[in-house]
A and B are shown apart, each in its own frame.
Chain A
Amino acid sequence: MSVKLSRQDERLLAGRQGKAARMAMRILIRMGEVLDAPELMDISQAHIDGCGLLSDTGLEFAETLAAGDGRVSVPTTLNMGPLDLENWRHFGVNEEFAAKAIRQANAYTAMGCIPTWSCAPYQGYLTPRFGQQIAWGESNAICYANSVLGARTNRYGDFMDICAAITGRVPKCGLHLKENRKGQILLRLADIDPGVMQSNAFYAVLGHLIGSLVEENIPVIEGLDVEASSDQLKALCAAAASAGAVALFHAVGLTPEANSLTEAFGGNEPERVIDITFSDLQRAWSDLSTAEDKDKLDLVVLGCPHFSFDEFRELAGLIRAQTEKNGKLHPDVKFLVISCQTSYALVQRGEFLDKLRDFGVEVTLDTCVFHTPMVSADTKVIMTNSGKCAYYAPGELDVKVAFGTMADCVESAVKGYVYREEGLWKES
Chain B
Amino acid sequence: MERILRARALVAGSAEGPAVVSRQPLSLWGGLCPRTGEIIDRRHELSGEIVTGRVFVFPQGKGSSTSSATLLESIKAGVAPAGIINLKVDPILALGSIVSDELYHRAVPIVILSEEEFFSIKQGDHVTIEGDGTVKVRTTS
Contact = CB atoms under 8 A, between A and B. Distances in A.
A31 B98 contact: yes
B73 A57 contact: yes
Given A31-B91, A159-B95, A26 B102 contact: yes
Contacts of B128: none
A30 interface: yes
Contacts of A58: 69, 72
Q: A interface, by DSSP: helix, strand, loop or mixed?
A: helix
Point out which of A35, A60, A64, A157 has the most chain B C-beta atoms below 10 A from its C-beta.
A157
B66 interface: yes
Contact of A395 (B11, B30, B103): B30
Interface of A: 23, 26-27, 30-31, 34-35, 49, 53, 55-58, 60-61, 64, 137, 139, 155-160, 395
Contacts of B89: 34-35
B33 to A, nearest CB: 13
A158 B65 contact: yes
A49 B89 CA distance: 22
Contacts of B11: 30, 34
Interface in B1-52: 10-11, 30
A158 B66 contact: yes
Interface string B81-121: 00000000101101100110011000000000000000000
A251 B91 CA distance: 28
Contact of B69 (A23, A53, A139, A395): A53
A139 B98 CA distance: 22
Point out which of A53, A55, A137 has the most chain B C-beta atoms below 10 A from its C-beta.
A55
Contacts of A55: 69, 73
Contacts of B94: 30-31, 34
Contacts, number: 61
Closest 6 CB pairs of A and B: A157-B65, A34-B94, A57-B72, A30-B98, A159-B99, A57-B73
B60 to A, nearest CB: 12
B66 A53 contact: yes
Contacts of B76: 56-57
Given A155-B65, A395-B30, A31 B95 contact: yes
Q: B interface, by DSSP: helix, strand, loop or mixed?
A: helix
A58 B95 CA distance: 13
Interface residues of B, number: 19
26 contacts: A23-B103, A27-B98, A27-B99, A27-B102, A30-B11, A30-B94, A30-B98, A31-B91, A31-B95, A31-B98, A34-B10, A34-B91, A34-B94, A34-B95, A35-B91, A49-B65, A53-B66, A56-B73, A58-B69, A60-B103, A61-B72, A139-B65, A157-B66, A157-B92, A158-B69, A395-B30
B99 A61 contact: yes
B31 to A, nearest CB: 12
Contacts of A139: 65
A137 B69 CA distance: 14
A160 B67 CA distance: 13
Contacts of A57: 69, 72-73, 76, 103
Nearest to A24: B102
A23 B65 CA distance: 20
Contacts of B95: 27, 31, 34, 157, 159-160
A137 B65 CA distance: 10
Given A27-B99, A34-B91, A55-B73, A158 B30 contact: no
A64 B68 contact: no
A23 B102 contact: yes
B48 to A, nearest CB: 19
Nearest to A36: B89
B87 to A, nearest CB: 15
